[in-house]
Structure 1
Amino acid sequence: MVAPLARELAEAAATEVGACIRPLAVRRIDTQTGARMAVPIPCGATRATKCPPCAERARRLRMWQAQEGWHLDTDPEIVTAEPTAEQLAVIGYRADLESARAAALAENDTAAVTDLDRAIGDADDMVRAAGARGSTRPPGERKPRRVRSTRRRQDAPNLPRLPVAARTVGRTFDTPDGRRYRPSTFLTLTLPSYGRMYSDGSPVDPDRYDYRRAARDAIHFGDLVDRFWQNLRRAVGWNVQYFAAVEPQRRGAPHLHAAVRGTIPRKLLRQVAAATYHQVWWPPHDEPTYSPDRPPIWDETREISCYVDPDTGRPLRAWDDVLDELAADKTAPPAHVVQFGSQVDVQGVLGDTEQAGQCLRYLVKYLTKSLDECHEPDSTSAIAHVDRLADALRYEPCSPTCANWLLYGVAPEHAKAGLVPGLCKGKAHKRDNLGYGGRRCLVSRKWSGRNLTEHRTERREHVLRTLGVVGAAVEQSTPDGERERYTWEPIRPTDPDQPDRLELLLRLISERKRWREQYERARDQVAELPATDDRPAA
């Protein structure tokens, strides 16, 4: 009874060799022979709680990406890639939805048009997720952008503004002995204080700690970071590039670590951080209009279904209508203003130094963990602090589509039946995200000239070149001429041909061990070969 299960043994062995412990099954179909074969593929998880080997592989890839772009001495070239089969399929699906919507409009089918508009919005998200940039909607069909005055707030200092040059590399410095250096920067930005804290991350006085402000600052932290990079580029006069990671402090507030290409005066960086702010032009949401126990209800009896007051039946104000009212009122204040704190840490870093390696390792240190796992609460008061922050986030609106807007008498954008205040599925409301719902890794477009998929392909090609130099069998590659021979389809859980998960795991372990042995043997042989142009770089 105390003996380990076979699945547990297989997962331990997979972790040791770096194989995925939650492999997915896909079916490979040979279009020439009709042969079908179940093939295990890695799950691709980025969190160690789900799959430690896949998360560690993703962390190493991110570290490689950060290293590649940090100390470049020439501007990278951005080459638009050819569309992939996935992108073409998603665009085709989006076009079919557009045709169906036009037919519904011709038949005056309002309900179908509403459903298709939602489906088109989901398809647009799929297009972006597939790696396409820009909008798929014609300019005439896009929402008009609400433009507010760009005049700076009176309580914010002014910033220098220079024309932004196209270059992305920093300055070089020459020493009297003839040596030339091109340093870069490691930058840390934090949010302001919400109350005095103990060293364990708990507040000295929980009753006076500003949990509402902490929650709102965490929700809008990503917008504040975007505004910082815009201000910095205008202040320095060139296209600053960065690789940044968002991590939590022990108190639970997010902060930013960024590798910045080139050197920027410390005084200017602190000046830009102090002058950067983000105004949230949302409806006022300090005092709720409804109770979570009796929120607005969905009324389908109307010509256009909507949320109504549970007592009077009066429809709630639509999201766009409320924003139009705010735009028309020039004296209306923003719902929230988020700014950085006074702590700004700046380090100058030279490439190919131990300090650069330490900074890179620190950048990706916590990427395999969720935000609440980076600093485990080690006291009862610290755990209670996280609980109070989670409570403050529960009914705080996190986006225009958040169900919590119902409590403030506003119908969320793209409102639909089934919205329940306090049960929004947005990332910001999940306890393990501590209010931050954005991406953990923030990389500027001209950082290295390649996106993450291209970096992954580059590393794979390096392995294949190493194997090819010594004539090793490359079992994991498919010749270009053979790629159209196979088609792939997922094997659903209800599929009768669903393979045994333990069998998939053992196959992945075997493949991983065999590939690693082949690569290490080929790498050792390549090291013994004379230097040639065909020899792969180390």
Structure 2
Amino acid sequence: MNATDRQTPRAIRLSMPLAREVVDQLAIALGVCIRPIPMYRLDPATGETRCVDVPCGTTLESKCPPCAKRNLQLRKAQCREGWHTETEPEITPNAPTEEQTYLIELRAQLQGYRDQAEAEGEDLASWDEAIAQVEMEMRAAGLRGSVLGRSATSRQRSTRRRQDAPDLPKRKKIPGTLGRLYEAPDGRRYRPSMFITLTLPSYGKVHDGAPVDPDSYDYTRAARDAIHFGRLVDRFIQNLRRVAGWDVQYFATVEPQKRGAPHLHLAMRGTLSRAEIKQIAAATYHQVWWPATDRVVFDGEHLPVWEDGCGYLDPRTGEVLPTWDEELDALDEDTEPLHVLRFGDQVKPVGVLGGTERADHLVKHYLTKYLTKSIAETVEPQTQRQKDHVDRMVEALHYEPCSEFCPNWLRYGVQPKNARPGQAPGRCKGKAHKAEHLGIRGRRVLVSRKWSSKTLTDHRADRRAWVLETLGLSATESPDPSRYVWRKVPPGDPDLPPLGQRLLSAIAERQRQRELLAEAQARQADTDLSATGKEAAA
């Protein structure tokens, strides 16, 4: 008698897989979203209302593997198509629609009314609220940027370079984004590109992803570097374009090292010498001109209190705390920046040729390898030392201000920008304070506007067009999506089928689509083989 025979009926039953889990596994295997968003789709022309499951579209494999994989493939296609392109991307802004023109006219009218109210000394709150609402509608309608441009009264810090940062050469700017074209002695022409890795400096000696001496490890500096890392990358790109002389285009991803500090993998179109890349990294810095945080003013039970019309007050003295703008105005020319970011010594520039195995390897195993995982998942602690290190990093980020709007400024006696009631130190909802982000508050993928002439939406359309073409259908004959009216299915809607039933329907539909696609590909292969045979016979 084996071990299985000795099990009780209950133990055998509990060891069997759950049917619902098998449904999820099958859906994942077939590429069906397992967390679909139910939406009601109304066709005004026919009056038909249908419940449609919209894919969740997450980028994290831990939430929905099919959607994360689909987004990963789109990012890979975007990276490959723009990296070694031989033609200049054509990006021509579309003509404004009637809706966009109407919104601009409405915005102009509201500005006139506001100017008149300001001249007559009236309250501007209602006009400002109306203008904010229209500008929100303008963004929703697809208009980019601000109609006001940059304010002439905005603060401008000195553009003089720091004395501890070397100057950089500046080449005459030439039009284009492709970089230099080389010609070999045998007449072959090629246009190489570059793959660059940039890291942050050391905060203390590290072994196996954790500090050797946690007490001497500079967690404050590490936290600030992580929060402002995106700004440092922007400065590097600006310096890169200045030295190169052409409009450098890039595809970059931000990932954490094993120690938790962010680093950058950047695919650059065109080449510079390795010495120049290292010189640019050494000369790149970012200064954070924020109020000082070296003195804790409010902690524990004594926290600022909100009073309408005044803002936050000191509960002990009743004085109004200085606003964000007032604190910035107090920074004079002799004030040092709160923090200065720089890259570390580990700068690795590598030349890459398009169409090579190395280029494909860099796309798969560096530029897009961790895009389906969260920051915390890529540095998941394996030892107690690593877990303690992550905990200390999260603790350092807890009260560190992540932006000018962060409630943590109240801890240091400053009202955050656009302060509102209910704010308190340590209660900021920004990504930088969450353990799964480890201080990285910006985007994981950074793509320049002229990397290619396609957006992710365009790449999705390309995949859809390929499927329709393979099936012998026309992508241009599909129904206009703008004709439908969409609304969310309310929670607890009795007409909504259970998720398991909807997944089963989606699985059946996906299986049918795969069968049709396989049959169409087989017919296409037979046609190509027949055409090849006829050419050979001729």
**Alignment TM-score, normalising by the size of structure 2:** 0.88
Counterpart residue identity of residue 138, structure 1: L
Q: Which residue of 2 aligns with 1:405?
A: 409
Paired AA for residue 178 in structure 1: G
2:298 aligned partner, one-letter code:
Y
Q: 1:145 to 1:516 in 2, by over 3 A?
A: farther
CA distance in 1, matches of 2:141, 2:372: 23
Structure 2 partner of 1:353: 356
Report the equivalent of 2:395. Answer: 391
Q: 2:217 aligns to what?
A: 209
Cα contact 1:38–1:499 (8 A) shared by 2: no
| More off after superposition, 289-298 vs 399-408 | 289-298
SS class of match (2:207): coil
1:176-187 alignment runs, 5 A limit: 176-187=185-196
What residue is the counterpart of 1:47 in the other structure?
60
Separation (CA, whole Å) in 2 of partners of 1:104 and 1:497:
51
The CA deviation string for residues 392-421 of structure 1, in whole angstroms up to 9 with x for no partner, is 000000001000000111111110011121
Query: In structure 2, what is the equivalent of residue 72 of structure 1?
Result: 85
2:193 paired with 1:189: no
1:64 to 1:484, Cα distance in 2 relative to 1, 3 A = closer
Out of 244, 259, 267, the position equivalent to 1:259 is 267
For residue 167 of structure 1, give the secondary structure of its aligned residue in structure 2.
coil
Instruction: Using the TM superposition, give the Cα deviation of residue 7 of structure 1 relative to its aligned residue in structure 2, in angstroms.
Output: 2.7
Cα RMSD of the aligned pairs, angstroms, is 3.0
Change (3 A) 1:363 1:343: same
Aligned partner of residue 187 in structure 1, secondary structure:
strand
The verdict on how the C-alpha distance between 1:33 and 1:131 changes in structure 2, with shifts beyond 3 A counting, is closer
- Structure 1 residue 95: Cα displacement: 5.8
The aligned residue for residue 485 of structure 2 is 487
1:535 aligned partner: none
The residue aligned with 1:534 is none
Q: Check if 1:274 corresponds to 2:292.
A: no
Q: Distance in 1 between matches of 2:361 and 2:137?
A: 37
Q: What is the CA distance between 1:526 and its match in structure 2?
A: 2.6
Spell out, residue by residue over 1:281-302, the C-alpha distance to the aligned partner (whole angstroms, 9 max, x if none): 11111222211442211112xx
Matched, 1:138 2:148: yes
SS of the residue corresponding to residue 283 of structure 1 reads coil
Residue pair 1:25, 1:499 contacting (<8 A) in 2 also: no
Q: Is the contact made by 1:292 and 1:422 (CA closer than 8 Å) also made in structure 2?
A: no
- Cα distance change, pair 190–165 in 1 and its aligned pair in 2 (3 A): same
Shift of 1:33: 2.5
The residue number in structure 2 matching 1:423 is 427
For residue 376 of structure 1, report the CA deviation from its aligned partner.
1.8
Residue by residue over 1:82-141, the C-alpha shift from the partner in whole angstroms, topping out at 9 and shown as x without a partner, is 6799x969969x969969995998995676567668x64xx7578657754211x4359x
1:486 and 1:131 map into 2 onto residues whose CA distance is: 19
**Partners of 1:36 and 1:89 in 2: CA distance:** 32
Matched with 2:521 is: 523
Tell me the equivalent position of 1:153. 162
Measured at CA, do residues 146 and 366 of structure 1 come closer, stay the same or move farther in structure 2, by a change above 3 Å?
same
Are 2:173 and 1:168 aligned? no
SS at match of 1:442: strand
Structure 1 segment 220-235 matched on structure 2, within 5 A: 220-235=228-243
Aligned to 1:372: 376
The residue number in structure 2 matching 1:497 is 495
CA contact (8 A) 2:199 2:264 kept: yes
Alignment of 1:14-93 (within 5 A): 14-81=27-94
The one of 296, 300, 316 equivalent to 2:304 is 296
Q: Is the 8 A contact 2:100 2:143 kept in 1?
A: no
Report the alpha carbon displacement of residue 249 of structure 1 after superposing the two structures with TM: 0.2
Report the 3-state secondary structure (helix = DSSP H, G, I; strand = E; otherwise coil) of the residue aligned with 2:34.
coil
Pairwise CA distance, 1:360:
0.4
Alpha-carbon offset, residue 13 of structure 1: 0.9
| Residues 1:198 and 2:201 are matched in the alignment | no
The residue identity in structure 1 corresponding to 2:449 is: R
Which consecutive unaligned segments of at least 5 residues does structure 2 have? 1-12, 530-538
State the 1:513 CA deviation.
Answer: 2.3
1:287 correspondence with 2:311 = no
1:322 corresponds to: 327
Q: State the secondary structure of the residue aligned to 2:180.
A: coil
Inter-partner Cα distance in structure 2 for 1:88 and 1:16: 43
Match of 2:265, SS?
strand
Specify the alignment match of 2:534 in structure 1. Answer: none
- 1:486 Cα offset (Å): 2.9
Equivalent residues of 1:29, 1:35 under 8 A apart: yes
State the alpha-carbon separation in 1 of the partners of residues 122 and 495 from structure 2: 45
Distance 2:141 2:338 in 1: 34
Distance of 2:367 and 2:287 partners within structure 1: 28
The 1:510/1:318 distance shift into structure 2, 3 A limit, reads: same
- Select between 269-278 and 330-339 the one with higher mean Cα deviation: 330-339
Taking the aligned partners of 1:17 and 1:438, their CA distance within structure 2 comes to 32
Amino acid at match of 1:505: L
Q: Aligned partners of 1:250, 1:125: CA distance in 2, in Å?
A: 40
Amino acid in the other structure paired with 1:322: E
Deviations along 1:59-97, whole A, 9 cap, x unmatched?
110000000000011211112246799x969969x9699
Following TM superposition, by how much is the alpha carbon of 1:143 offset from its aligned partner in structure 2, in angstroms? 7.1
Contact 2:100-2:138 at 8 Å conserved across structures? no
Secondary structure at the aligned position of 1:240 is classed as coil
Q: Which residue of 1 aligns with 2:6?
A: none
* Equivalent residue, structure 1, for 2:316: 311
State the secondary structure of the residue aligned to 2:159: coil
CA deviations over 1:284-324 (Å, ceiling 9, x no partner):
11222211442211112xxx140111111111111112222
C-alpha displacement of 1:529: 3.1
Larger Rg computed on CA atoms: 2
Does the 8 A contact of 1:23 with 1:504 survive in 2? no
- How big is the shift at 1:169? 0.6
2:4 corresponds in structure 1 to none
SS at 1:432 equivalent: coil
How big is the shift at 1:509? 1.8
1:147 & 1:504 partners in 2: Cα distance? Answer: 56
Distance verdict in 2 for CA 1:492–1:128, change over 3 Å: same
Contact 1:70–1:260 under 8 Å retained in 2: yes
In 2: Cα distance, 1:175 partner to 1:433 partner: 47
Q: Partners of 1:83 and 1:494 in 2: how far apart?
A: 41
SS of alignment partner, residue 356 of structure 1: helix
- Aligned partners of 1:126, 1:376: CA distance in 2, in Å? 41
Read off the aligned partner of 1:134 and give its amino acid letter.
G
Over residues 462-496 of structure 1, what are the superposed CA-to-partner deviations in whole Å (9 max), with x where a residue is unaligned?
2222222xx5xx8xx78356545532222122544
Paired position in structure 1 for 2:532 = none
C-alpha distance 484-315 of structure 1, shift in aligned 2 (>3 A): closer
3-state DSSP class of the match of 2:462? Answer: helix
Distance 2:304 2:201 in 1: 36
TM-score (norm 1): 0.88
| Change in CA separation of 1:75 and 1:392 when aligned onto 2, cut-off 3 Å | same
Contact 1:90 1:127 in 2 (8 A): no
Q: Deviations over 1:7-30 (max 9, x none)?
A: 322211110101100011111112
CA apart distance, 1:187: 0.6
